[in-house]
Structures are given as C-alpha cells and as structure tokens.
C-alpha cells in the first residue's frame, strides 16, 4: 500500500459535488485507486474510487465538459 499527499490538491467532481482531492491511496494492482476528497460546499471528507470521480473543467487543458456517467452503483467508502 502507498499513500501520496497531492500537492497541490486536484479539483475534482464527485457524486456529492465539487471538491479537492488531497490524498491518493494505492492498495496495489488488484484495487482501484482511492481519492480522499474534501467537498467545497460542506467541507465533508469522502473517499471515492476511480470510477466515482472526474477532474473538474479546465479550459487551459481543453477540458470543457465533464460528465459523471453512472458506473456500477457503488457507495463511497
């Protein structure tokens, strides 16, 4: 297992709204990465796997649209 503090934090879109990913947890090859995120609106801390989050829009990087497709119905860890 490895843990990486993201510096700077990455702006992401989660099932509960926009926020910033501060920590990345990697349990190894057989597992999804886990992203520890703090939400903008509520300040809540949630952990999501790769299928649940997306990078926020970024015009400079050419990312003008972000969609959260419905992956398997998995609840946040």
Distance CA 16, CA 39 (A): 8
C-alpha–C-alpha distance, residues 47 and 14, integer Å: 10
Interatomic CA distance for residues 28 and 63, integer angstroms: 29
Residues in the chain: 77
pLDDT tens sequence for the chain (77 residues): 999 999 999 999 999 999 999 999 999 998 999 999 999 999 999 999 999 998 886 667 666 666 665 544 455 55
- Supply the pTM of this predicted model: 0.78
Q: What integer pLDDT is reported at residue 34 of this predicted model?
A: 97
Cα separation, 50 vs 29, in Å, equals 13
CA 38 to chain centre: 9
pLDDT at 65: 63
- Do 30 and 45 meet the contact criterion of CB atoms below 8 Å apart? no
């Amino acid at each position: 297992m490895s843990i990486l503090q993201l510096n700077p934090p990455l702006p992401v879109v989660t099932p509960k709204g926009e926020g910033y990913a501060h920590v990345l947890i990697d349990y190894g090859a057989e597992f999804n990465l886990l992203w520890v995120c703090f939400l903008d609106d509520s300040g809540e801390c949630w952990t999501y796997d790769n299928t649940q989050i997306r990078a926020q829009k970024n015009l400079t990087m050419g990312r003008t649209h972000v969609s959260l497709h419905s992956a398997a119905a998995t609840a946040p860890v």
